[in-house]
């Protein structure tokens, strides 16, 4: 087997965007639009079990009948205002790529391994994040952007990964997915894809027993990753293309 493609989740995987990014942006949107809502870090961690921003808003409102009912247009408005605040946070330099992400993306590009994105993030949020971290030509790195509402059901449903596999025209066993949540892991392995997990701040205590590998990060020179394979083998170093090739070869 050869490495035919690599799929990246975004929030928590490419960058630690949740606690100091999306959560802060939601609260700014609630304040701007006059909703008496504030999501503290602990509450937001629980809300992350609901995949998708608009779905998260609807779920929270369903648990608080004292709040005024929201129309679909109002949910979209909150989400849009939140996205604008998120872009501001990125542009202020408050969110950076995780250790090893740019290095691995550069190596994949040099080896001509196709890369795609699988995330519920909006294009505007992704554009702000990757333009800041990778430069204005960041889109040239990716074959497909499986983002937002491109599929009707969010992770842990495997739909987004099945969508990407169909477009790449590759066998799931020849792909590696990079994720940071259990929901993302279940979506990826549900599509038959070997999955490498780099737990994020909010997900470090989740169950990743189905992962091919769990690593502290992707690693950079001077900041090695510590990893454990599904076989139980452990080690440290850089997660590079050669490492990913071993994951698809079993």
- Asked if pLDDT for residue 50 goes beyond 80, the answer is yes
Confidence of residue 67 (pLDDT cuts 50, 70, 90): very high
Integer Cα distance of 217 and 240 in angstroms: 11
User: Global pTM?
Assistant: 0.92
Domain boundary among 91, 110, 130: 91
What is the reported pLDDT for 201?
92
Instruction: Tell whether 150 and 203 lie within a shared domain.
Output: yes
Instruction: Tell whether 86 and 119 lie within a shared domain.
Output: no
180 is catalytic: no
Instruction: Tell whether 185 and 210 lie within a shared domain.
Output: yes
Instruction: Tell whether 226 and 103 lie within a shared domain.
Output: yes
Instruction: Tell whether 205 and 219 lie within a shared domain.
Output: yes
CATH number of the CATH domain containing 64: 1.10.150.240
Domain boundary among 73, 91, 109: 91
- Tokens representing 116? 């795609």
User: Which is catalytic among the residues 11, 140, 171, 220?
Assistant: 11
What is the reported pLDDT for 216?
98
Angle at 150 between CA 16 and CA 119, to 5 degrees: 15
Tell me the residue range of the domain where 70 lies. Answer: 18-91
What is the reported pLDDT for 147?
97
What is the pairing mode between strands 213-215 and 195-197?
parallel
Give percent of the chain above pLDDT 90: 96
Instruction: Tell whether 140 and 102 lie within a shared domain.
Output: yes
- Asked if pLDDT for residue 60 goes beyond 90, the answer is yes
CATH number of the CATH domain containing 114: 3.40.50.1000
What is the domain count for the chain? 2
What is the reported pLDDT for 249?
80
Instruction: Tell whether 152 and 228 lie within a shared domain.
Output: yes
**Residue-wise DSSP of 8-63:** E--BTTTB--IIIIIHHHHHHHHHHHT------HHHHHHHTTS-SHHHHHHHHHHT
What is the reported pLDDT for 142?
98
User: Each residue of 215-239: pLDDT tens digit?
Assistant: 999 999 999 999 999 999 999 999 9
Instruction: Tell whether 71 and 166 lie within a shared domain.
Output: no
Instruction: Tell whether 59 and 32 lie within a shared domain.
Output: yes
Instruction: Tell whether 45 and 109 lie within a shared domain.
Output: no
Integer Cα distance of 181 and 207 in angstroms: 9
User: Which is catalytic among the residues 9, 40, 137, 220?
Assistant: 9
Instruction: Tell whether 11 and 22 lie within a shared domain.
Output: no
Counting Cβ atoms within 10 Å, is residue 31 exposed (0-12), middle (13-18) or buried (19+)? middle
Confidence of residue 205 (pLDDT cuts 50, 70, 90): very high
11 is catalytic: yes
Confidence of residue 82 (pLDDT cuts 50, 70, 90): very high
Answer whether 55's CB lies under 8 Å from 63's CB: no
Mean pLDDT of the 22-37 span: 97
User: Each residue of 102-116: pLDDT tens digit?
Assistant: 999 999 999 999 999
- Asked if pLDDT for residue 157 goes beyond 90, the answer is yes
- Asked if pLDDT for residue 44 goes beyond 80, the answer is yes
Give the DSSP H/E element, type plus range, for residue 85.
helix 72-91
43-62: b (≥16 Cβ within 10 Å) or e: ebbebbebbbbbebbeebbe
Domain boundary among 62, 91, 120: 91
Helices (H) and strands (E) in the chain, counts: 9, 8
Which residues make Cβ contacts (< 8 Å) with residue 247, sequence separation at least 6?
176, 194, 196, 212, 213
């Amino acid at each position: 087997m050869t490495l035919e493609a690599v799929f990246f989740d975004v929030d928590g995987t490419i960058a630690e965007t949740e606690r100091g990014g999306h959560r802060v942006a939601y609260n700014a949107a609630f304040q701007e639009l006059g909703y008496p809502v504030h999501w503290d870090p602990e509450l937001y961690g629980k809300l992350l079990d609901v995949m998708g921003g608009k779905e998260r808003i609807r779920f929270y409102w369903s648990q608080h009948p004292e709040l005024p009912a929201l129309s679909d247009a109002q949910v979209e408005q909150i989400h849009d205002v939140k996205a604008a605040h998120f872009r501001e946070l990125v542009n202020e330099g408050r969110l950076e790529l995780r250790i090893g992400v740019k290095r691995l993306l550069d190596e994949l590009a040099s080896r001509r391994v196709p890369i795609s994105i699988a995330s519920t993030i909006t294009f505007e949020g992704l554009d702000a994040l990757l333009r800041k971290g990778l430069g204005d030509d960041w889109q040239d790195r990716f074959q497909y952007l499986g983002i937002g509402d491109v599929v009707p059901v969010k992770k842990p449903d495997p739909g987004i990964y099945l969508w990407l596999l169909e477009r790449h025209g590759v066998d799931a066993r020849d792909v590696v997915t990079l994720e940071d949540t259990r929901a993302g892991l279940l979506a990826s392995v549900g599509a038959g894809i070997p999955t490498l997990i780099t737990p994020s701040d909010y997900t470090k205590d989740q169950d990743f027993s189905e992962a091919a590998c769990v690593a502290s990060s992707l690693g950079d020179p001077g900041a090695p990753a510590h990893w454990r394979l599904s076989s139980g083998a452990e080690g440290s170093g850089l997660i590079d293309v050669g490492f990913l090739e071993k994951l698809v070869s079993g």
